[in-house]
Structure 1
Amino acid sequence: MTATSTATPVRAPSSSAPSDHPPIARGKVGVVLANLGTPDATDYWSMRRYLSEFLSDQRVVDYPRWKWQPLLQLIILTRRPFSSGKAYKSIWNQEKNESPLLTITRAQTEKFARAMKARHGDTVEVDFCMRYGNPSTRSVLNRLQQKGCKRIVFFPLYPQYGSPTTATANDEAFRALMKMKWQPALRTVPAYFEHSAYQQALASSIEEAYASFDERPTKLVMSYHGVPERYLLEGDPYHCQCQKTTRLLRERLGFDEAEVDTAFQSQFGPEKWVGPQTVEHVAALARQGHRHIAIASPAFAADCVETLEEIQEEIRDSFIAAGGETFSYIPCLNDRDDHIQALVAIAGDELAGWLTPNEDTSFRE
C-alpha cells in the first residue's frame, strides 16, 4: 500500500527523446519504512512459509546451512507453525484479518506520509515494506522506482542497530537493487536510539503511563529482544545500544538507577544469550517483594507478537506466578504523534541535500 498520491508515468519531452521512447516517470524521492514482517494468516502453511523465510535468514540464525536447514525443515517447521500460529491467533486483528504489526505499520506510514507531504508537497513518495512476508521489500522498491523515485531513503524501524534486524533489512534492500536495470540512489537510516526526538517520545510514553497508575511501580523493566552473547563478542553493537537506551531514558525521566532494569526476551536455541532473561527476571523481582512493576519494549517501533503475546501473556504469567500482583505493560510508540514526528525528523537528517522543506525539489529529466 502506497500512502501518497500515485504518480502517472509520462513520456520524456520530444526535445530529449523520440516519440516512441518508453514512458519515464518524473524524478521523485522515496522514503520506505521497513519493519520485520508478518505471516499472511495463522494457519499452518502460512505460518510455515513465514517461519521458513525468517529462520532461513543467516543474519537471524547463522549456523552453516548444511547443518541448520535439515533441522529447520524436517523438525522445527513440523511443530513450530502450530505454536506460533496459536500465539498469532491470540492477538490477530480479526476485523482487518491481519497481524497487529501490519495494522500499526500501515497507520504509521499514513501519518508519516501526511507529515512529509506537508513539508515537501508531492515530491516525496512514502511506502512501507516487510523484511519477511508482505509487502516485500523488492516489490515496494520496484514500485517506487517505477514511479520515478531516483533517490530513496530506506528506513529500518529499529532504534538500536542489530545484525539480525537492521542489517538484514538493508541486505534485502540492496538485493532488490541488484535486480534493477536502473538503480535509484539509496540511503539507509542508521540506529536512532540517541536521537533527542525519539528519546523524548519514549520518555513521554512512560510519563503518561505512570500518571495513569493508581500506585507507582517499584520497578520499570526495559525489555529488549535478545541476541546470542556470541553476537556481542563478534562486534554487534546491539547489546551496548540497548543498555545505553535505558540509561538515556532513565536520565531523561529523572528516575533513580535502582528503579530501572534492562532485560532481554525471546531466547531460543541452546547457546548462551545476553541477559538477564525477562521471563526469569520478572519472577525474581516478584520474589524480592516487588508487587507492581511496569514493562516497556523500546527495541520495537510497533507492538507485535513479542509484546502483545509474549510480554502480556508469558512474561506477565511468570511475574504473577512468582507472587507479583500488578503487571503494567506500556505500549510501544506505535503511531503516537510524537513518535511520527521523531521519525520525520530522523528521516529529514538523511534527506539533507536531496530535499528542502517547502520548496520545489522536482528533478529535471
Structure 2
Amino acid sequence: MPAEHARIPARSADAGATAPTQGVLVVNLGTPAAPTAAAVRRYLAEFLSDRRVVQVPRLLWWPLLHAVILPLRSPRVAKKYALVWMDEGSPLAVHTRRLAAAIGERLPGVPVAHAMRYGGPSIADALRELQAQGCARVLVLPLYPQYSTTTTASVADVLEHIGRDGTDAPALRMVEQYATDPGVVDALAASVRAHWQVHGRGERLLMSFHGIPQRLVDEGDPYSAQCHATAEALAAALGLGHGQWLVTFQSRFGREQWLQPATDATLRVLAGAGVGHVDVVCPGFPADCLETLEEIALQNAEIFRAAGGQALSYIPSLNDAPAHADALAALAQRELDAWR
C-alpha cells in the first residue's frame, strides 16, 4: 500500500513560480514538557480536549475532564513519565527530534523541522520556522504509519485551519499513511532480527498497536485494516508462519469497546497456556514513548510474569536508526518529487 497524501485546502504556490523551496515537517503526537503533575495536566488538557480524540458532547465532557480526570490522572501519569524520562527530556521528544535531524541529513537542500500535535513545538511554529528558511511549500509527514481519524485526521485539521486562516502560510501536502512502506517494513524486520540475535527469540512475537474505539472502525476508520496490513508485511519479511505471531491492541481509555484482542489480556492467555517467553514489537510507534517504554516494557512485562510467564522482551521502536531515517527520507523525497 503506497503512501497517500491529504488534499488540504491550503494556499498553493504561485502558478508562475518555478522550483519553490520545499521543506519537510515531521509531526508526532506530543508529550509533557516535564515529568510533573502540572506539566502532564497541561498536556492532557490539550490532548483530551481534541474532538478527534474524545467524541463526547462538550457539555458533559468538560466538567468531567477538568474536575475529575485531570486532577486524578495527572499525578499518576507523571510518575509513569518519571520512570522513562531521559536526560535530554521526554523519550518521544528526544527520539522525534533526533529522527527529524537524521532525515534532514539525508535530504540535502531540504529544510526539515519537527513538531507535535499537542504541546511544543507546535505545528504553526514549526511551519513559520520553515517559512523563515524560504520554504514556499512544506510536506507534512506525521509519524503515524497507519491512518486514523483520531491521529492523522487531527493533524489535517490543524493544517486545514492554517491553510484557511494563515495569510502567509506555505503550500501544504500531507502524507496520510505509510502502513506497508517497503523501506520501513524492512527496517522493522532488521530490527527484530538484530534483537533476536542478541537476546534470543521468544516463543511468540506480539505486534502491539495503539487501540482505538471499535465504533470508529465500524464507522469506516481504516486504522485496524492498516495495522493488520503492517503486521502481515512484517511477518512475511521475517518469514513467520501461522501461530508464530499475533496482532494485539494496547492503551485502552474509557469504557466503550476498543479494538481486540487487548495486549494485556493476550499476555495473560499466553502465560496461562504455558508460553514462557514472548517478544513484543510496536510497529505503530516509530519513536519510543510512554506507551512502549512504560506500558509495554514495564507494566505488561509484569502482567505477563504475574500470570505465569517467564519473560517479556520488548523490541525498541526504530527511533532514529539509520535504516528508519533512510526509509522516511526516501518516502519524503518521493512525495516531494511527485508534488507538481
2:74 aligns with one of 74, 81, 98 = 81
2:327 paired with 1:334: no
2:101 paired with 1:110: yes
Would you say how many aligned residue pairs link Structure 1 and Structure 2? 322
- The match for 1:133 is 119
- In 2, Cα distance between equivalents of 1:175 and 1:27: 22
Question: Which has the greater radius of gyration?
Answer: 1
- In 1, Cα distance between equivalents of 2:161 and 2:339: 23
Aligned-pair distance for 1:167?
1.1
- In 2, Cα distance between equivalents of 1:65 and 1:178: 25
Amino acid at match of 1:126: V
CA contact (8 A) 1:291 1:324 kept: yes
- In 1, Cα distance between equivalents of 2:156 and 2:339: 20
Pairwise mapping of residues 220-231 of structure 1 onto structure 2 (< 5 A)?
A: 220-231=205-216
TM value normalised by structure 1: 0.86
CA contact (8 A) 2:24 2:139 kept: yes
2:92 aligns with one of 101, 106, 113 = 101
- The match for 2:296 is 311
- The match for 2:139 is 153
Amino acid at match of 1:231: L
CA-to-aligned-CA distance 1:110-154 (integer Å, 9 cap, x gap): 11111101xxxx3x2110000001101111112222332111100
- In 2, Cα distance between equivalents of 1:353 and 1:103: 30
1:285 aligns with one of 264, 270, 283 = 270
Amino acid at match of 1:210: W
Deviates more, 1:162-171 or 1:131-140: 162-171
- In 1, Cα distance between equivalents of 2:100 and 2:133: 18
SS at match of 1:264: strand
CA contact (8 A) 1:279 1:314 kept: no
1:217 aligns with one of 178, 202, 208 = 202
Moved over 6 A (4+): none
Q: Is there any run of 5+ residues in structure 1 with no aligned partner, and where?
A: 1-25, 356-365
- In 1, Cα distance between equivalents of 2:165 and 2:30: 22
- The match for 1:54 is 47
Amino acid at match of 2:159: A
Aligned-pair distance for 1:213?
2.7
CA contact (8 A) 1:33 1:127 kept: yes
- The match for 1:64 is 57
Amino acid at match of 2:318: L
CA-to-aligned-CA distance 1:36-71 (integer Å, 9 cap, x gap): 001111222211110000000011111111111111
- In 1, Cα distance between equivalents of 2:65 and 2:318: 34
Aligned-pair distance for 1:208?
1.1
Pairwise mapping of residues 1-365 of structure 1 onto structure 2 (< 5 A)?
A: 27-93=20-86, 95-96=87-88, 98-117=89-108, 122=109, 124-214=110-200, 216-353=201-338
Aligned-pair distance for 1:218?
0.9
Aligned-pair distance for 1:178?
3.2
CA contact (8 A) 2:37 2:77 kept: no
- The match for 2:8 is none
TM value normalised by structure 2: 0.92
SS at match of 2:172: strand
SS at match of 2:243: helix
Q: 1:245 to 1:354 in 2, by over 3 A?
A: closer
CA contact (8 A) 1:28 1:148 kept: yes
Aligned-pair distance for 1:226?
0.3
SS at match of 1:227: coil
- In 1, Cα distance between equivalents of 2:309 and 2:173: 46
SS at match of 1:116: coil
Amino acid at match of 2:107: M
- In 2, Cα distance between equivalents of 1:340 and 1:202: 12
CA contact (8 A) 1:138 1:176 kept: yes
CA contact (8 A) 1:151 1:185 kept: yes
- In 1, Cα distance between equivalents of 2:169 and 2:122: 18
CA contact (8 A) 2:107 2:333 kept: no
Q: 1:184 to 1:210 in 2, by over 3 A?
A: same
- In 2, Cα distance between equivalents of 1:179 and 1:146: 18
- In 1, Cα distance between equivalents of 2:316 and 2:115: 22
Q: Is there any run of 5+ residues in structure 2 with no aligned partner, and where?
A: 1-18
